[in-house]
Amino acid sequence: MEILKKSWDVIVVGGGNAALCSAITAAENGAKVLLLERAPQEERGGNSTYTEGLMRFVYGGADDIRKLCPDLTDAEMASADFGSYTEEQFFDDMARITQNRTDPDLCELLVRGSNPALHWLVQHGIKFEPQFGRQAFNIGGKFKFWGGATLAAWGGGPGLVEGLYKAAGKAGVEIAYDAWVKDLLHKDGVISGVKVRFHGVTEAINASAVILACGGFEANAEWRSRYLGKGWDLAKVRGTRFNTGDGLSMALDIGAQPKGHWSGCHAVGWERYASDFGDYNLTNDYERDSYPFSIIINAEGKRFLDEGADFRNYTYAKYGRMILEQPNQFAWQIYDSKVLHLLRPEYRTKHVTKVIANSIEELVEKIDDVNQGQLLKTIHDFNASVRQDIPFDPNIKDGRSASNIEIPKSNWANTIDTAPFHAYNITCGITFTFGGIKISNSAQAINTNDEVMPGLFAAGEMVGGLFYFNYPGATGLTSGSVFGQIAGKSAAEYALS
């Protein structure tokens, strides 16, 4: 292929949101840019394609939302209480969720860059829409948004990726698919290009700068066991099969400094019998994120977490680990009919393992692989402990708790006593890993001697130090866009200097 024989200012390794934002920005800053996507064209986009396209960002109120969603009607605007999400709230969420370990410099770049990043995406043809029914429930004729995540790209992750590839083409970015980057070219610590296997042939391509934006190691079962711990080789992979840690490996091999929570990851409750890797056509059907309105039990028939500890956005990314730690790595979500109307659409697809019953006894009898006597007791004890004096409200942390039991439920507790009863079988689905490499504020890689690595930049899941233990929902795509734009601008300036 002719483009592989040329010399480039900037090579971007990866094909998802962070890589595309990097490539577009580098091209707009005057660089000749080549993007190398390991996947074939029909599987392009990395993990970004498997997301809902939801992005966390700072905004001041309804006027900010209208600017990003100019197609919203007056009726739609009137039907919603968008509230606001301030820089202070974003900072607080990042500090609280990561137990105050998030890198302060990177966090500041993320938070302060979040609003401009979405406006940049809009300028490049990406459309956004409020997540009615997912991030807000209709109570009394009004949608009240909660949890700090309000907008998603039209068409979800696939729509975002498709739009960014169009923007990349307009910006003059050259793209090669089935291009598996295997190594970095360098001399005396200075990057000079990459080695890439393209259609079975390995070639060297010269470039003044390289941006690594090719994901973490979530699709590598051996690395998961090595870094995340025992049992993680058994987790389902929510996204692409191509994120096997190659970018991390080649960076570390030449001295990049590891940073972040290498034994941590984003992992959720997922359809127990989902495919081992993400499936473009089915991935959204496998999500099981309405659990705050359920009780979750394990094979012993016992609850093992607080389903209502916080809004879903602040707990879902850590609960996958807790499910994986249960006997046989599975659990069941159990719902009373009073809340079935609040379940997200994926619960109503055919790609779901569920049980429906008209009595609690029938439900327990139908649930496989569970201690049925203990499960009956768990439901009975839970029902007896639910506070009836506080009204149920899914749009706020309502304080309707179940407290006189071994593991309390802090909010949204409802008795399980009204048929039909639904139960959904889940396991752990891993989204992405938290460990990465250290970068400067200009997204330049830092080596183990705390020196910048000339010509090497990173974005997306490759960035270490943002997330620890847990993750504020919808921050990943925002981070990819923010640091992608920083990396693209810095790499172009470096290459052209």
Beta strand 33-36 with 174-176 is parallel
Q: Which residues contact 95 (CB under 8 A, 6 or more apart)?
A: 102, 107
Over residues 210-223, the pLDDT tens digits come to 999 999 999 999 99
d(CA 310, CA 428): 19
d(CA 492, CA 490): 5
3-state helix, strand, coil in the chain (%, to 5): 35, 25, 40
What pLDDT shows up at residue 360?
97
Structure tokens at 369: 């692989």
Residue type, 133: G
Q: Which residues contact 104 (CB under 8 A, 6 or more apart)?
A: none
Looking from the CA of 227 toward its CB, the CA atoms found within 13 Å total: 23
Residue with tokens 């016992």: 302
Confidence (pTM): 0.96
What pLDDT shows up at residue 213?
98
Residue 47 C-alpha from the chain's centroid: 8
What pLDDT shows up at residue 368?
85
Beta strand 295-297 with 331-335 is antiparallel
CB of 471 within 8 A of CB of 479? no
What pLDDT shows up at residue 1?
59
Q: CA dist 47 to 18, 73, 79, 220, 244, Å?
A: 10, 32, 33, 14, 12
Q: Where are the alpha helices (DSSP H) in 213-303?
A: 221-223, 246-253
CB of 161 within 8 A of CB of 17? yes
What pLDDT shows up at residue 119?
98
Which residue from 147, 179, 174 is spatially nearest to 14, judged by alpha carbons? 179
CB of 307 within 8 A of CB of 292? yes
Which residue from 489, 468, 467, 491 is spatially nearest to 478, judged by alpha carbons? 467
Residue with tokens 């790209």: 153
d(CA 319, CA 315): 6
For the chain, domains (ranges, CATH) are: 2-217+434-496 (3.50.50.60), 267-429 (3.90.700.10)
Residues of the chain predicted below pLDDT 50: none
Structure tokens at 83: 């509230």
420: preceding bond cis by omega (within 30 degrees): yes
